[in-house]
Chain A
Amino acid sequence: MAAKWQRPTVDTKFHIDVTWWQENNRDMRVYVREALCDECREAYKDYPDIGEIDAIDPQTGEVSREDGLMHVLRTCCSLKPDYITPTTPVVGAIFRTFLANGNQPLSVNELYELLDRRPPATILRMLTAGTVYMGIRPVR
């Protein structure tokens, strides 16, 4: 039975829907690369496709296989102050927020708490007005 559609609210959880990128024949990794800091962009310039890497846990030393691009973004670039700046467009800032947290779903209210940009109702309108920006959609 199909799930009943419900109008998203400020408490509805959103995330980056990877399938949206595939369906629209767009490469999300291009956008992820754009979010890399100068240092990482330089370090990975010889790796056009980083692929999976062995990520080392900074506390336990445990190794896990992760997407290399996402890993460096999460563990290095997203921690830098210019990762999201006041001039970063709101949707871009939301996209980068999801990249930084490993694409863990967040509600508009939570995004507002993190970003402090535009009222929750405005953010909700931007994400649900019709056009899907950067694959950011409610979690189904």
Chain B
Amino acid sequence: MPAVRRLKSRSEAYWRDEYSVSDSDIDLVTSLILEASKPQQLSELAAAIITRRLERETEAVRFQAERGAIYQPRHSYEVGQKVLFTAMDFSTAEVQAVRSGSNPKAGTFSVIRVAFEDGTERQFAADYAAEHPLNRPAEELLGGADAEVSDDELLQIFEPYVASRLEPALAANAEFVKFSGLWFLRGLLPEVHVGHLNLAEAVIYEAAKPLPAHAMLDVLEIGGAGTTDARVFALSHALAEDERFDNLGTAEDPIWYMRALEPAAVHERPAVLIPAFRAAGGEHVGITTLEMIEQVGDELDALEGASSSDTTTFQFQIPFPHLHAGTLPASPQFLSKLPQTNATHYPINLVETGSGTRMQAWVVPAERYLCGLEDWYTAVDMCVGGLITLRCTDDPALFEISAAPSRSKKSDWIRVASVDDGQLVLQLSRLTMAVRADSNMLTMVSDAPAVAQLMAQTEEAGTSLARLVQTTFQELAKLTGRGVVHAKSIYAAVNCYRRSGLVPVLAELTRRACYDPVGDGFWAYSPDLEGQTYRTPDSMRERELSTRTDLVKDQIVQYLG
């Protein structure tokens, strides 16, 4: 039974189920923006609507309570008497007639016919002493405020309900204009024409860096009548409508750049980087492989929330997909070193160690990569397995980047990857490398577009990781005298078929009985054990099915990032 009638404006049910935006609300929003002469957050506008209603209703109740009686079924009423109905939105009505009630179960009572101020007539029980929620003390019926909930708390609770209705109402009203969560009156917008936009483009090109809207105001000479906030809003709104421009900042602090100057990977993840196999946590791997995982630095092996050392140096051994896409992994640890922002992408500066050459790269936090490194990869003659180091500097937006030069200028036997008949083919060729690389991952890709095409085909075929590990193992084993293959070599080759972290590859090797660790990260293959798996950490370590004498038992742990 409802104990106390609350003021309607203090009821969540009202804002959630009944509230709709009225003309009066739109007038209030208009006057708020006019008064402030600057764009307003939707939440501020919604809060103003709620606050006004709270105040008005409280005031109305006080006023009505002073001039009329509070309706309670137990009371008697006389013709002509004014009555406040707390359960009828605190409306006031005048008693028109009184008659006897007829209801055998309810006993003796009266019925009053009342006329509300809008002209409607209704009947209510009177002289009805039975139990009824409205027969509680009058002060409880008027006590709309819940002592345990403050107005600020009410605003927080109700604001989303109002905002979700106000936003479409404003969007449907041609008088209002929105940019990044801020609302303004179209009539107050200083004019921004195509000439301004072309000039803005020239200004950004000339600056060769992103510019905040306010930095362009004076150059563009946008209507001086409005406030600075209004001019910034007008310019930002116009820039946002023009596909040439990209906001690298936030709604409150927009920073504008040209899309044409940004790498494509800023806006769309390159197909070769679509993750197929990534660490989920809990995979069983050998304890000695943990260091290998750290060396490779694959972002698909980084687990959210995993503890890590507070390093300022990040090293990577780059797989084909990143090399081809001109990207680098951006682990949560690396991202934590960057300026904290809500932007979906933003540039950082890189300076090459030694040469001091400066370049720009783009961070895409959601995709966990840096992009825009194609030219640098070409310049340093980067290869699969190449060692790359990023170091923090005193400036959080500036990092040192280096690719160590190869120690030897002599040629060496190096794996070369190509594609033949839908398969990755690996062969050894004598080549000279420009950059230092991990010898187990090092692979030259002779026809990168063909490998990218192979990746697309493999994705479409939905080939399993088990199959890819087996295929690449056999291809790699041909190149070695002992028939053993390093896990990193498999990882590098698998990444020419599908994008994969190292952990899923290691987990596959560890659980399948046909692969046995033979030390230093190398694995041997026993075709007669194909299809058999070990299910427990102990069996993965002991590998009871193995007949190899060179088996090296490794303690098995669950991968936790």
Contact = CB atoms under 8 A, between A and B. Distances in A.
B71 A61 contact: yes
Contacts of B105: 40, 43, 72, 76
B81 to A, nearest CB: 15
Contacts of B134: 60-61
A62 B128 contact: no
Nearest to A61: B73
B102 A53 contact: yes
A44 interface: yes
Interface in B367-385: none
B173 interface: no
A71 B101 CA distance: 15
A60 B134 CA distance: 7
A62 to B, nearest CB: 6
B101 A43 contact: no
Interface string A53-74: 1111011111110001001100
A43 B109 CA distance: 17
A50 interface: yes
Nearest to A66: B103
B125 A61 contact: yes
Contact of B101 (A50, A54, A59, A62): A54
A47 interface: yes
Interface string B74-104: 0000000000010110000000000001111
B124 interface: yes
Given A61-B71, A61-B124, A64-B123, A44 B111 contact: no
B358 interface: no
Chain A, interface residues (CB within 8 Å), range? 20 to 34
Nearest to B131: A58
A44 B103 CA distance: 11
Chain B, interface residues (CB within 8 Å), range? 20 to 34
B104 A50 contact: yes
Contact of B106 (A47, A52, A56, A59): A56
A72 B106 CA distance: 11
A72 B105 CA distance: 8
Nearest to B88: A60
Given A60-B88, A61-B125, A64-B123, A54 B102 contact: yes
B290 to A, nearest CB: 56
A44 B105 CA distance: 8
A54 B87 contact: no
Counting chain A CB atoms within 10 Å of each CB, the highest count among B103, B123, B124, B133 belongs to B103
A56 B133 contact: no
Nearest to B135: A61
Nearest to A46: B104
Contact of B104 (A53, A60, A64): A53
Given A54-B111, A56-B73, A61 B104 contact: no
A56 B87 contact: no
Contact of B87 (A40, A44, A59, A63): A59
Contacts of A50: 104
A62 B104 contact: no
A56 B111 CA distance: 10
A63 B124 contact: yes
Contacts of B111: 54, 63
A59 B133 contact: yes
B5 to A, nearest CB: 9
Contact of B103 (A56, A60, A61, A62): A56
Nearest to A76: B105
A63 B85 CA distance: 14
B123 A62 contact: yes
Given A43-B104, A50-B104, A68-B103, A56 B2 contact: no
Contacts of B87: 59-61
B141 to A, nearest CB: 11
B430 interface: no
B209 interface: no
Contacts of B122: 62
B88 to A, nearest CB: 7
A64 to B, nearest CB: 7
Counting chain B CB atoms within 10 Å of each CB, the highest count among A47, A53, A58, A62 belongs to A62
Contact of A54 (B72, B85, B103, B132): B103
Contacts of B133: 58-59
12 contacts: A40-B105, A52-B102, A54-B106, A56-B128, A59-B87, A60-B87, A60-B134, A61-B128, A61-B134, A63-B101, A68-B104, A72-B105
Given A56-B132, A61-B124, A62-B125, 14 more contacts: A40-B105, A43-B105, A47-B104, A53-B103, A54-B101, A54-B106, A54-B125, A58-B133, A59-B133, A60-B124, A61-B71, A62-B122, A62-B123, A63-B124
Chain A to chain B: the 6 pairs with minimum beta-carbon distance, closest first = A63-B123, A60-B87, A53-B103, A61-B73, A54-B101, A56-B125
